[in-house]
Amino acid sequence: MQNTICKTIHQYSKEPVSSEDMHRLTEIARDCRSVKNNVYQRYGGIKSLSKLYPGYTIQNEMTECGLRTALGLPSVYFYLAVFEALGDIKAQWTRIKSDVLAAVGANDSLSPQEKHYLRFVIKVSGCFDNILNGKEAVIPDEMRDRYRGIVEDVNPETGDKVDCGKLNRYLCRQVRKRLQRLWTDKEDGFAIAERAYRYGINGEAHGIFISTKEKRKRIFIPLTDENAYKQQLYMKLKPEENRVEIDVPIEVRVKTHGDYVNEIGLSIGIMHLFTTDSGNVYGEHFGELHKEFAEYVSAADRTYRREKEHNAGRKKYIRQKARLDAKLEAYVNWQLNRMLAQEKPRTIYVPKLPPGSSDGYSPQIRYTANIWRRGFIRKRLEQKCRENSIALVTVAGKAISTECSRCGAAGVHHKGVFQCERCGYEADKKVNAAANAVRRGKTVL
Ligand SMILES: [Zn+2]
C-alpha cells in the first residue's frame, strides 16, 4: 500500500468577482443548502437507517421527489449536495454507535452478558436498525451461532439469561438521547464535480469555468495560479470580499528522508518563529511582519468604529488584510521548509501549550493586539511533519521556560535570558525551553 496523506490546497480568485457572478454562485450555494436540509429531514431519522446503505434508494427517491426540478439546479450540484448530506447522516450514526458503545462499557449496572449482547446488536446492522424500529432483529446466517451463544449465556451469579426486550429498550433510549436533528444554515459554499467545471484560458487570463443554473451559461473566474485539477472541489464564497476560494483535496505521497536523523527541540514564538535547542533561529522577521499585520488591523478597527456610516473603505481594508495574511502565511511556510532542510530532524519535540494560550505569544501581545490566525503555525508544523515522516512529539509545557535544561532546577528568566542559580547555566530563554522539550520528550519515551 502506498503511503499517502490527504492535504487540502487552496486556489484563489485573482480579480474581484463581479456581483452578478457572485449572485449566480450564491444561488447555487443556497439551493445546495435546501437540498441538504431536505435530505437531513427525510433521512436523518431512525426509520431511514436501513436505506442509508448502500444509498441507491435514497438517490432514486430524491430524483423522483421533484425538488431538483423545482429548484432548477443542475443535477451535478444536486447529487453532490445529496451525497454530502448523506455523509453527514452516516457520520452522525457512526458517532452515536461509538458513544453508545462507550456508555455500555461504562455502565456498571449491566452484567458482562448484557454488555456482550448490546455490543453485538450495535455492531451488526440488521440488528441495530430493526431493534430501533421495534422490529425483530435479523441475524446474518454466519452470525447465528454467535448470537445464540450470547442470548443463551447464563449469568453465573443470578442464573438468568439476558432479557433482550429490556436491553433493546435501553438501546433505544440511549440512541434517542443522542440523535440530533441535522440542519444547516451555511450557504457560503458548495461542492463541485468535474462535470460542472473546466480549467482554461479566457482571453489572457487563466482560471476556471463554472456551470450555473442558467442553461449553457458558464462563468469564468481568473485564478492566481495556473494549476488544474480533476477531482471534486469545494467552492468557498466570500461575497463580502468579492472573491472565491477553492479547496482542493489532494493525496500526497509521504516522503522519507534517509538523512533526517536528528532529534531537535523547538520553541515556537511570536518574535522568532522557531528556536531550536542548539540555538538556531528560523523566522527572525516574523515579529516585524506580525506587528505590521496587528497594527494595520487595529488601526483599521478604530477607523471603522469611528466612521461606521461611511463604509467605503471596508472593502479596501478586507483586501489589504488578506494580502498581509497571505504574506505571513507564505513566510511561515518558507521558514518551516528552511528549518526542516537544515535541521534534518527525525524527531521534533515541542512543548504543549496550556489551554487557552496561543502559540507562545506573551500575555501583553495576547491581550493588546490582534493575533494572527491562532494555531496556524502549529498546524503547518504538524502537516509538514506528516508529509516528511518526521515524528512530532508534544511534551508537557508547564514551567518549561523556568526550568534549567542542564540541571533541572527552577531558575528565572529576565529580558529573554534564562539563568540557573544552582548550576550557573545561562542561555537564551527560548533555547533553554527548546532543550527542555527534548529532555522531557526523551524521559517520557
Ligand atoms: Zn541548572
Distance 346 CA to ligand 1 centre (A): 27
Kindly report the backbone phi and psi dihedral angles of residue 80, in degrees, each rounded to the nearest multiple of 5, phi listed first.
-65, -40
Distance 392 CA to ligand 1 centre (A): 26
Distance 419 CA to ligand 1 centre (A): 8
Distance 413 CA to ligand 1 centre (A): 12
CB contact at 8 A, 317 and 275: no
Distance 400 CA to ligand 1 centre (A): 13
**CATH class of the 262-444 domain in this structure:** alpha beta
Distance 269 CA to ligand 1 centre (A): 23
Distance 262 CA to ligand 1 centre (A): 24
pTM: 0.69
CB contact at 8 A, 348 and 385: yes
Distance 273 CA to ligand 1 centre (A): 26
Distance 125 CA to ligand 1 centre (A): 61
Question: Given this model, what pLDDT does residue 7 score?
Answer: 84
Question: Given this model, what pLDDT does residue 310 score?
Answer: 63
Cell of 98: 461509538
CB contact at 8 A, 128 and 140: no
Distance 402 CA to ligand 1 centre (A): 10
Looking at the DSSP assignment, which residues form a beta bridge with residue 253?
A: 4
Question: Given this model, what pLDDT does residue 367 score?
Answer: 44
- Report the distance separating Cα 411 and Cα 423, nearest Å: 10
Question: Given this model, what pLDDT does residue 300 score?
Answer: 80
Distance 422 CA to ligand 1 centre (A): 5
419-428 pLDDT per residue, tens: 999 999 999 9
Question: Given this model, what pLDDT does residue 366 score?
Answer: 46
Distance 351 CA to ligand 1 centre (A): 19
User: Which residue numbers in the chain have pLDDT < 50?
Assistant: 1, 364-369, 445
Cell of 19: 456581483
Question: Given this model, what pLDDT does residue 125 score?
Answer: 77
Distance 410 CA to ligand 1 centre (A): 8
Strands 345-351 and 262-268: parallel
Distance 424 CA to ligand 1 centre (A): 6
Distance 440 CA to ligand 1 centre (A): 15
CA atoms within 13 A on the CB side of 321: 19
Distance 411 CA to ligand 1 centre (A): 7
Distance 407 CA to ligand 1 centre (A): 4
**Domain boundary assignment for the chain:** 262-444
Distance 374 CA to ligand 1 centre (A): 33
Distance 212 CA to ligand 1 centre (A): 67
Distance 362 CA to ligand 1 centre (A): 24
Distance 429 CA to ligand 1 centre (A): 13
Distance 418 CA to ligand 1 centre (A): 10
Q: Quickly tell me which residue has 471596508 as its cell.
A: 314
- Report the distance separating Cα 410 and Cα 433, nearest Å: 12
